[in-house]
Chain A
Amino acid sequence: MPVILTADEIAVLVLSLQVALASVALVAVPGALTGWVLARARFPGKSVVDALVHLPLVLPPVVTGYLLLVAFGRRGLIGAWLESWFGLRIAFTWKGAALAAAVVAFPLMVRAVRVAVEMTDRGLEDAARTLGASPLRVLGTVTLPLAAPGILAGLMLAFARALGEFGATITLAGNIPGESRTLPVAIYAQSQVADGDDAVRRLVLISLAISLLALIGSEWVARRLARRVETA
């Protein structure tokens, strides 16, 4: 079985990385902030926010995709607004694929950050406050650096989840070569045609390779970060 990729398959690979990285970029800051808020803040309705955040984790991805389509479709509330004001189309574009992947990956990012922040020593934050650091500075100079390994793990999970996203992607963005035919969508499509077996095998190998590389890479970085923040 030759592992040389066809031009179409290279396009699928590039698009998949693009979509996954874009969705990680989308969830990074909101996910980290939400995780921090859920770990540290006390406010009424916190359990509702918590439940909403976790919704994409328990909903069938197709349902998530459908709800996104209702909101972001050309006649959807947000979709129509984005198109008329910014000329931005989400549904059935690569941006839609990135959005779908981001929404599905969001709770994983939040959970990882939340656990990481909950595990950082509040005593260290108190110490920084007595030295004159405002809450925002404490977040930036103490909490985030100490939670960095956990945040990285969250980004990694989000990336892996985004790379494998299928149901919400195909519902919101379809299966359009160069726009929304990501690795899982392409594998599914090839597995449906009679002579697609070789293509499927190549695409599966690529998926495996990317996932393993990402896993090993993040493990390496996490270990370095953990060494930086270790206590005696």
Chain B
Amino acid sequence: MSVDIAAEVGFADGGFRLRVVSTLAAPATGVFGPSGAGKTTLLQLIAGLVRPAVGRVVVDGEVLDDTAAGIHVPVHRRRIGVVFQHGRLLPHLSVDGNLRYGERLLAAAQRRIGYADVVALLALGPLLARRPATLSGGERQRVALGRALLASPRLLLLDEPLAGLDGGLKRQILPFLRRVHSALGIPTIHVSHDLGEVLQLTTDLLLLEGGAVVARGTVAQLAAQPEHLGRLHDLGLVNALPGTVAGHAPEDGLTSVTLGAERTVLTALRDEPVGTACVLLIRPADLVLARTRVVAISMQNQWLGRVVSITGTVTRTVVAVDVGVTLLVEISRRAVAELELAPGAPVWCLCKAQSVLVT
């Protein structure tokens, strides 16, 4: 999947609200930036809901917009799914009617995603007969996601699907979004102003500001650039590590989660069954660095790693440490000097089990 955009979208009163030249090629890209940065406009442009003033939009080699050639493929022929903020479910149809709305418009041969699979994946069974007005915000977003999936899109656009949901509901929806990624493999562009949310789904980021792309790359690449560090921090920079629940020790009050092959992280006791896929969230400021293993300390996680890079601005310093996965650790400049940290140096990375959030 690749989305090539070289386009400008204008305001009705002149001026531009979006000017983007970029190629999005990752299976999932997180588009983030402050309010008014042009994130939603970018999605509308790709979906065909706004037309570029000048430029081209190409998805997988198919030209969807080309102002020079006079091409504009209408929205309903693009096969690009959108999950909007607040769902936009059709109020006069039941949940079932909403789910089947797009599916019905597809020829049987074009349906790549089964109704029963989506209902099971998103746990929609009990909701099917209900009216959208009777659903909670989280339920509504699940139905909106299922409805978009059943239209068998080649690309899925998520426009702040979690905005307006409280923390608990967000934690309910995010696992569903991750399942959509892993089970169905539909390329996704996820717009959000919350970096922590985006990072649970992808590490490939596109940062928009003032209607223009100011940075793109993986979160590790962007965090290594001083000019982006402050922005990332403001938008909620967090270490998001996909892992698997490996075991519980109720007598110790701890749960162990494996990251990749061998690295194990201890967290406060959880109740997910062993084998559950999850994402660990650790704030950079909650991590501690030490030159040696520390004994007689309450911190349960101590990992030996190697400094990858040190990125500093006036106000903050972030050290990237490779402990099998790359962790971003925020410490003071004096600490960097006292520990004589430099790229390549071995260092112990410490973290309280209670500072590891599991979602």
Minimum C-beta distance from A125 to chain B (A): 9
Shortest beta-carbon distance from A230 to chain B in Å: 5
Q: In the complex the two chains form, is B91's CB within 8 Å of A131's CB?
A: no
Q: Closest B residue to A230 by CB, please name it.
A: B133
Whether A232 contacts B133 by the Cβ 8 Å rule is yes
Q: How many residues of B contact A (CB 8 A)?
A: 28
What is the bound-complex CA distance between A141 and B105, given in angstroms?
12
Contacts of A127 in B (CB 8 A): 82, 84, 88-90
> Quick check: which of B61-69, B72-80, B112-120 contacts chain A, the rest being far away?
B72-80
Nearest residue (CB) in A for B151 is A131
Q: Does B92 lie within 8 Å of A229, measured CB to CB?
A: yes
Tell me, yes or no, whether A134 is within 8 Å of chain B by CB: yes
Chain A residue at minimal CB-CB distance from B86: A123
C-alpha gap A129/B81 in the complex (Å): 10
Which residues on the A side are within 8 Å of B49 (C-beta)?
A: 126, 129-130
Known A124-B90, A126-B75, A134-B76; judge A232-B101 contact (CB<8 A). Answer: no
- Determine whether B276 belongs to the interface, using a CB cutoff of 8 Å to chain A: no
- Report the nearest A residue to B135, measured CB to CB: A232
Is A146 touching B91 in the complex (CB atoms < 8 A)? yes
Given contacts A132-B76, A146-B91, A230-B91, 18 further A-B contacts (CB under 8 A): A123-B88, A128-B90, A129-B75, A129-B76, A130-B49, A130-B76, A131-B76, A131-B101, A132-B102, A133-B105, A135-B74, A137-B76, A137-B105, A141-B101, A146-B92, A229-B91, A231-B133, A232-B133
Pick the contact of B102 from A131, A145, A228 — CB < 8 Å?
Answer: A131
Give the shortest distance, in Å, between B144 (CB) and chain A (any CB): 8
Looking across the interface, which residue of chain A has its beta carbon closest to that of B44?
A126
- Bound complex: CA of A135 vs CA of B135, how far in Å? 28
- Closest B-chain residue to A132, C-beta based? B105
The contact of B82 among A130, A145, A230, A232, by CB within 8 Å, is: A130
Taking a contact as CB atoms under 8 Å apart, the answer to whether A130 and B148 are in contact is: yes
The smallest C-beta distance from B350 to any residue of chain A, in angstroms, reads: 47
| Among candidates A121, A132, A134, A146, residue contacting B151 with C-beta atoms closer than 8 Å | A132
Bound: A196/B75 CA distance, A: 65
Please report the C-alpha to C-alpha distance between residue A131 and residue B145 in the assembled complex, in whole angstroms: 11
Chain B contacts for A230, CB-based, 8 A: 91, 133
Q: What are 7 inter-chain pairs, A to B, with CB distance below 8 A?
A: A127-B89, A129-B76, A130-B75, A130-B151, A131-B147, A132-B106, A141-B101
Q: Which residues of A contact B147 (CB under 8 A)?
A: 131
Instruction: Assess whether B105 is in contact with A131, with CB atoms less than 8 Å apart.
Output: yes
Chain A residues bordering chain B, tally (CB within 8 A): 23
> Quick check: A133 and B76 within 8 Å, CB to CB?
yes
Name which of B47, B90, B134 has the most chain A CB atoms within 10 A of its CB. B90
Task: Check if B38 is an interface residue, CB within 8 A of chain A.
Answer: no
Q: Indicate if the CB atoms of B80 and A130 lie closer than 8 Å.
A: yes
Is A57 an interface residue when CB atoms closer than 8 A count as contact? Answer: no
B3 to chain A, nearest CB (A): 16
Chain B residue at minimum C-beta to C-beta distance from A231? B91
| Interface check B312, CB cutoff 8 A | no
Interface residues of A in 210-232 (CB under 8 A from B): 228-232
Pairs A-B, 10 closest by C-beta atoms: A131-B102, A129-B75, A127-B88, A132-B105, A232-B133, A130-B82, A229-B92, A231-B91, A145-B92, A131-B151
**Is B132 on the interface with A (CB-CB < 8 A)?**
yes
Q: Which of B19-66 touch A at CB < 8 Å? A: 47, 49
